[in-house]
Structure 1
């Protein structure tokens, strides 16, 4: 179940109705099962026996009314009380769950819904609305559609702007919803940016039809089983469906982040601890603000680990959310650092710990002092020990003054009670405080544990709702502020955190693990699979890549000091899609394993005393490898790991295709070679990386299909600058068995092959005005193709999968054509239309 923005607290009447007159009704009766059952108070979702419908008036129509929160729900009817009697739902009106099981779907917004009667196993008329909201500021109430079809669809009134919320499930800016109607007809409608009539769009005369009051509305003719008007830009007549080659990116997609533990970076005052002043002194190492120099590392954004007041070295137990850690310096010194970073073009985000505070925070000490304390409910208390353990088998209930409080990580870090309005207001106030200081966003620690629900401790609906409020709080202060979350889980569990205006990105832990494991094994197969999964799962480019962080053994130790693997790992994650994060000292091969303090040791600046970190005794002993692995020594060696990182970061910053290009898998003739492409506009970079233990001579690489135009392309290795031959792209934008004219690809070496067209691309006017649109995109069951006015009377359509296999071919008569994608696997496809001599290609994503 997906809870809809703006309506989280409302429980509304929902009425199911199914016509069983053509069925022999089971003695066990008729039931309905789905994702609504738990929310309606039943023990579990998808139980075919607990939610019975009745036919009180003996007309053959079985009904049930219950109350559930607003949201999007899946369901199906059951003739009997077991899955053997479940109806088979057609893809015309159902949604595939990805496993071949098709369910019905309903959207419950701000009013009651009495679903139209539908025949068991049958379909009513379906209407799919879609609107492109790029460039619009979307309020928390979201985007809605209203019209004179609403009472027919079972909502309480026509022209109700609150009843039918739309959703942008994949972050492409296209908001969509599907509505079931019991009859054909001509209907008027319009979109609403919010849920109030003043926020309704003004429909232009060119595509508007006046109602009885002279108000212009959009019109649709629902004359077929499935009706899908093309996506339009809000308030315009312009068809503008999703264009996956022109997806939305943000400033963080252009950034390379550097994670800093301030205590360990540089000590400016000789007390053995790093501080803000020391960090300021070292900014020129990170980025001196001059793009023409090559002495700096070149990172463009910093993530500061906890820097608020705390009694612990790590800072994750905060005692004052509006104060700096005294060990690091004053607020004035933090502000001076922030100004110095910004003057060099460096963005700064800071750790914000929302899950818990310190047990020494005044809020908690007052909460623990008395059951009548006004702060008592700011934390989670129980008179007795509930007895259950945490997800790792740890104690989560801790005794204090005769009661027990909840703290999932440690007794010194009691969890905050986000159900308390006072606590929530105080935390949102602290959130605004640092944004007002000028920080550019937040990294959220332990985000999946924010708001537990009884014994359900992670990934709860309450956590997702809380993050939506957090999003609104942050963006109300700075719409361009960036949020990144640590949801340390598998990919499928992480994705919901970056949907529905929750967080901008999350760290992709499975991908990081796959990179390290593939290099250890000398086999890229697992990494190849994970890259494909990530590509299919997230909104385009909206996830964070990294190797290891402050909670994990450092990557240099993971590779047992193998410098070639270190360089290869860097070449991979700094050229992949996503937002890269580099852990301080990774670029000089720092070691660290075991207890957390040893993963966060002082930065290694020189081969001198205490690694150049401090003139005193450091808070934690420096690594033993610092004499060889330090900034000064590596800067002087052109072949060093540090200079390798500088080159990779510089290439990523220089070439837009490495920051914004979409991902395509490529193949190699050698099983030990991983290849993939990044494509953006008319440019591509093909990565070729050898995971084997021996050199590979002229590995043949193939790219099945892309959106690049056919023709000859010059190939250059970006890293070395060497010419690597030419390649000819076919009509599908692909090539077969290309071998670069470079020396053998050494073990753990990576080529970055840039493809530049040898012909100045001049798109014929006919091709430009063909203007192929695909909607919806991503698609589930069907996709509509629409061509511009220059298309010939008959065009030729071909569809290829991401491996370049021709899946479908058909003539297109006129400017519109419908593709049935219901039996296609989830993934990326390329739709190619030739009209006369003009050819246009678009990427299509199928997500059932």
Structure 2
């Protein structure tokens, strides 16, 4: 059966995106902090890799209590990253090389040092008071509700200056904006339009599904002894979110040829279609985190201790998202970002099979329907860091966890083991460019220590090795660009019950891909379904040297082996 070739081509669907955490990417002035000129200096590297879009994490003016996601001026560049002129040069150089640039857009909150909030807290009668969410204490002087922050503790902070509480579902220095205020919305729209007029090609929109909160901020159900509880359902994916996004799209976004991807935690495929459905006029795609919850067994502190995950879980999640969004919406495919541990240390094998498992994870990400996102260093197989002391960690969430775990009586080795698994700093160690001091990231003292394995895991050595992870990424990107079926083809799972093999086909018109992967550290027996067991498939790419890879015959897959086959389908 040949699938009807009905699909809508868009440049952002066919693109490969590379995420840059600027603080850790490349430092050009020796202060130990990556900068915009550092990104510009590596554009040839990114062009050679084959990426079409770079997504830059926040580079706006910020006190950096949450590394840039606490913005104090939307219209200014943080001095540690450079100047507005540096950004404009970066944008121009990227465009000259055919690379588009998208930036983080933080609309849920600002820094408490933003002039809006400074004015807001001056007086209850301030014109900016209603730009944020202020509430009186309960009669017993407790917070207005029992909502917990994503970062720990209460989501309400008492302000001595104005004698009321303000809401912050993230860090206490990140007060939430009040999207019930039309004047605030106008301000935000004006700011978004300003950046697009400057030439940006789109946005990754931070925490977009949290901008609307439950009316009246009620208490969540909780055991009597718990004063602070998870209340995510009171500020996640509420219906009015879509009114605001549609308004933003209608008034601003739709007037530009851009791409938009929203961060939407706690979102399943049906919910995602409300954001990305082609008839919804909201966003192009969203980041969901269902697959990153496979090893998350508990709430609270215990959630930092990763639990074993099952391939059956991953298959079910992939099947749901691939099938339900096909020809209705668009997926954003990723394993890693600045908030997550390194995928190779989490879902692969960063020891004996580091190279093979890194290539396998990449194969899956690139061969699914959706836009693939590479996080810096992923393309060379960078791993988690294991600092010996909490003093070496910079992430405020990690430091909060350490203090709370100590108070709960956790042993030091248990605390550090959990941090080694789950800290956001795993993804934030500086980029490893070569085997020189500090991995070639800086000539000064880096803001955070470089992973010691930079001496042998680095870009320079990967470029010289034909079978490196880096060069495999280049091949994967070429396959995706040369075969539209890898972008738009219909997904169909194969061998659904196999305990270690994940396999599927992608079909578009008269071309079909067959992708097969062994997600284990042992040999896996491969029995090809009868419908695929013919000799017309040709091997496009394999991540290991194998005697059986050239033919689609019964055989065995090596540990973490992946293969991509292609054939022309004869119409029925």
TM-score interval for Structure 1 and Structure 2 normalised by the shorter chain: 0.7 to 0.9
1:271–1:699: structure 2 CA closer, same or farther, 3 Å change rule?
Answer: same
SS of 1:350's equivalent?
A: strand
TM-score w.r.t. the length of structure 2 is 0.79
Which whole-Å CA distance do the structure 2 matches of 1:379 and 1:348 have between them?
Answer: 30
Corresponding residue for 1:526?
313
Corresponding residue for 1:664?
492
1:256–1:394: structure 2 CA closer, same or farther, 3 Å change rule?
Answer: same
Which whole-Å CA distance do the structure 2 matches of 1:469 and 1:574 have between them?
Answer: 33
Which whole-Å CA distance do the structure 1 matches of 2:364 and 2:311 have between them?
Answer: 11
Q: How does 1:109-128 map to 2 (within 5 A)?
A: none
Q: Is the 8 A contact 1:666 1:703 kept in 2?
A: no
Matched, 1:310 2:88: no
Q: How does 1:605-684 map to 2 (within 5 A)?
A: 605-667=433-495, 671-684=499-512
SS of 2:204's equivalent?
A: strand
Q: Is the 8 A contact 2:439 2:458 kept in 1?
A: yes
Corresponding residue for 1:538?
325
Corresponding residue for 1:686?
514
Which whole-Å CA distance do the structure 2 matches of 1:417 and 1:645 have between them?
Answer: 43
Tell me how far 1:247 sits from its aligned partner: 2.3
Tell me how far 1:267 sits from its aligned partner: 0.9
1:566–1:372: structure 2 CA closer, same or farther, 3 Å change rule?
Answer: same
Choose the corresponding residue for 2:200, options 439, 442, 451: 439
Corresponding residue for 2:52?
300
Corresponding residue for 2:413?
none
Tell me how far 1:395 sits from its aligned partner: 0.8
SS of 2:166's equivalent?
A: strand
User: RMSD value over aligned CA atoms?
Assistant: 2.9
Q: Is the 8 A contact 2:542 2:561 kept in 1?
A: no
Tell me how far 1:521 sits from its aligned partner: 6.7
Between 393-402 and 332-341, report the one with greater CA deviation.
393-402
Which whole-Å CA distance do the structure 2 matches of 1:697 and 1:390 have between them?
Answer: 48
Structure number with the higher helix fraction is: 2
Which whole-Å CA distance do the structure 1 matches of 2:531 and 2:58 have between them?
Answer: 44
Corresponding residue for 1:716?
538
Choose the corresponding residue for 2:144, options 383, 386, 389: 386
Which whole-Å CA distance do the structure 2 matches of 1:311 and 1:554 have between them?
Answer: 26
Corresponding residue for 1:272?
32
Tell me how far 1:512 sits from its aligned partner: 4.8
1:327–1:681: structure 2 CA closer, same or farther, 3 Å change rule?
Answer: same
Which whole-Å CA distance do the structure 1 matches of 2:236 and 2:295 have between them?
Answer: 26
Corresponding residue for 1:336?
89
Corresponding residue for 2:154?
395
Tell me how far 1:363 sits from its aligned partner: 0.7
Corresponding residue for 1:755?
567
Choose the corresponding residue for 1:323, options 76, 83, 88: 76
1:513–1:661: structure 2 CA closer, same or farther, 3 Å change rule?
Answer: farther
Which whole-Å CA distance do the structure 2 matches of 1:329 and 1:529 have between them?
Answer: 45
Choose the corresponding residue for 1:578, options 365, 370, 385: 370
Q: How does 1:450-599 map to 2 (within 5 A)?
A: 450-454=211-215, 455=217, 456-478=234-256, 480-491=257-268, 492-499=270-277, 500-513=280-293, 524-540=311-327, 542-558=330-346, 559-562=348-351, 563=354, 564-592=356-384, 594=419, 595-599=423-427
What number of residue pairs does the alignment pair up? Answer: 490
Corresponding residue for 1:29?
none
Tell me how far 1:668 sits from its aligned partner: 7.7
Q: Is the 8 A contact 2:294 2:309 kept in 1?
A: no
Q: Is the 8 A contact 2:4 2:509 kept in 1?
A: no
Tell me how far 1:621 sits from its aligned partner: 1.1
Tell me how far 1:741 sits from its aligned partner: 4.6
Q: Is the 8 A contact 1:512 1:548 kept in 2?
A: no
Tell me how far 1:490 sits from its aligned partner: 4.2
Q: Is the 8 A contact 2:15 2:371 kept in 1?
A: yes
Deviation track 1:652-676 (CA, whole Å, cap 9, x = no partner) reads 1222111121111223896532220
The structure number with the bigger radius of gyration is 1
1:615–1:450: structure 2 CA closer, same or farther, 3 Å change rule?
Answer: same
Tell me how far 1:354 sits from its aligned partner: 0.1
Which whole-Å CA distance do the structure 2 matches of 1:741 and 1:516 have between them?
Answer: 37
Q: Is the 8 A contact 1:286 1:298 kept in 2?
A: yes
Tell me how far 1:309 sits from its aligned partner: 1.1
Between 554-563 and 418-427, report the one with greater CA deviation.
554-563
Corresponding residue for 2:184?
423
Deviation track 1:409-430 (CA, whole Å, cap 9, x = no partner) reads 1221111111112111110000
Tell me how far 1:449 sits from its aligned partner: 1.1
Which whole-Å CA distance do the structure 2 matches of 1:522 and 1:328 have between them?
Answer: 39
1:580–1:474: structure 2 CA closer, same or farther, 3 Å change rule?
Answer: farther
Deviation track 1:26-63 (CA, whole Å, cap 9, x = no partner) reads xxxxxxxxxxxxxxxxxxxxxxxxxxxxxxxxxxxxxx
Q: Is the 8 A contact 1:713 1:756 kept in 2?
A: no
Tell me how far 1:305 sits from its aligned partner: 0.6
Q: Is the 8 A contact 2:294 2:310 kept in 1?
A: no
Tell me how far 1:254 sits from its aligned partner: 0.5
Tell me how far 1:311 sits from its aligned partner: 1.1
Which whole-Å CA distance do the structure 1 matches of 2:555 and 2:467 have between them?
Answer: 18
1:447–1:549: structure 2 CA closer, same or farther, 3 Å change rule?
Answer: same
Structure number with the higher strand fraction is: 1
Which whole-Å CA distance do the structure 1 matches of 2:496 and 2:213 have between them?
Answer: 47
Deviation track 1:335-362 (CA, whole Å, cap 9, x = no partner) reads 1111111112211110000000110001
Which whole-Å CA distance do the structure 1 matches of 2:479 and 2:376 have between them?
Answer: 20
Deviation track 1:594-645 (CA, whole Å, cap 9, x = no partner) reads 4434431210000001100111111111112111111011111222222222
Q: Which runs of 5+ in 2 are unaligned?
A: 138-142, 218-233, 298-306, 386-418
Tell me how far 1:249 sits from its aligned partner: 3.4
Q: Is the 8 A contact 2:209 2:241 kept in 1?
A: yes
1:382–1:526: structure 2 CA closer, same or farther, 3 Å change rule?
Answer: closer
1:437–1:673: structure 2 CA closer, same or farther, 3 Å change rule?
Answer: same
Which whole-Å CA distance do the structure 2 matches of 1:570 and 1:616 have between them?
Answer: 33
